[in-house]
Amino acid sequence: MAAKSKNARRKKPGKSVYLVPAVDKALEILAMLRAEGREMNLADISKATGSHKSSVQRLMTTLCHHGFVKRDEVTKRYALGIALAEYGRVALNNLDIRQLAKPYLQALVDYSGETAVLAIMNDTKMVMIDKREPPSQIRASPFIGLRFPATATSNGKALLAWLPEERVNEIMRIEGLPAPTKNSIIKPSVYKADLAAARERGYAIDREEFQEGVSGVSAPVFSPKGQVIATISLAAPAFRMTEESVRKYGEKCVEVAAQLSAQLL
- At 121-150, the pLDDT tens digits run 988 999 999 999 998 888 888 878 888 899
Beta strands in 157-246 (DSSP E): 204-207, 214-222, 228-237
Give the pLDDT of residue 5: 36
**Residues in contact with 131: Cβ distance below 8 Å, sequence separation at least 6, in sequence order:** 105, 115, 116, 117, 118, 142, 144
**Beta strands in the chain, from DSSP E residues, in sequence order:** 69-71, 78-80, 115-122, 125-132, 147-149, 204-207, 214-222, 228-237
Count other C-beta atoms under 10 Å from residue 25's C-beta: 17
> How much is the average pLDDT of 54-66?
92
Q: Mean per-residue pLDDT for 244-249?
A: 97
CATH of the domain at 66: 1.10.10.10
244 and 129, same domain (yes or no):
yes
The answer on 106 and 81 residing in a single domain is no
Q: Are residues 55 and 107 in the same domain?
A: no
**Coil/strand/helix, residue 176:** coil
**Would you say residue 8 has pLDDT above 70?**
no
In a domain, 32, yes or no: yes
The pLDDT of residue 12 = 46
Per-residue pLDDT reduced to its tens digit, 251-265: 999 999 999 999 886
Give me the phi and psi of 133, to 5 degrees please: -115, 150
- Angle between the N-to-C axes of helices 53-65 and 42-49, in degrees from 0 to 180, rounded to the nearest 10: 110
Full domain range(s) for residue 218: 94-263
Taking residues 46-68, what's their average pLDDT? Answer: 90
pLDDT at 88: 72
- Which strands sit side by side in the sheet containing 147-149, from one edge to the other? 147-149, 125-132, 115-122, 228-237, 214-222, 204-207
Please count the helices (runs of H) and the strands (runs of E) in the chain.
10, 8
pLDDT on residue 16: 54
Indicate if 40 and 169 belong to the same structural domain. Answer: no
Whether residue 38 is predicted with pLDDT greater than 70 in this model: the reply is: yes
Rounded Cα–Cα distance for residues 99 and 101 (Å): 5
Contact 34, 146 (CB under 8 A): no
CA distance 190 to 186: 8
Same domain, 64 and 123: no
Task: Please give the Cα distance from 136 to 239 (Å, whole number).
Answer: 14
Residue 22 pLDDT grade (very low, low, confident, very high; cuts 50, 70, 90): confident
Is residue 193 within a helix (H) or strand (E), and if so which, with residue range?
Answer: helix 188-201
- Tell me, what amino acid is at 61? T
Which pLDDT band holds residue 84 (cuts at 50, 70, 90)? confident
What's the pTM value of the predicted model, to 2 decimals? 0.67
Q: What is the mean pLDDT of residues 168-174?
A: 95
Q: What is the mean pLDDT of residues 58-84?
A: 91
Mean pLDDT of 163-180: 94
**Range among 10-14, 50-54, 153-157 rated most confident:** 153-157
- The SS3 assignment for 203 reads coil
Instruction: Please give the average per-residue pLDDT across 17-25, as a whole number.
Output: 82
Are 78 and 152 within one domain?
no
pLDDT at position 92, please?
62
Predicted confidence band of residue 198 (pLDDT cuts 50, 70, 90): very high
Q: What does the pLDDT read at residue 10?
A: 39
12 within a domain of the structure (yes/no)? no
115 and 50 in a single domain? The answer is: no
Are 190 and 79 found together in one domain? no
Q: Are residues 153 and 133 in the same domain?
A: yes
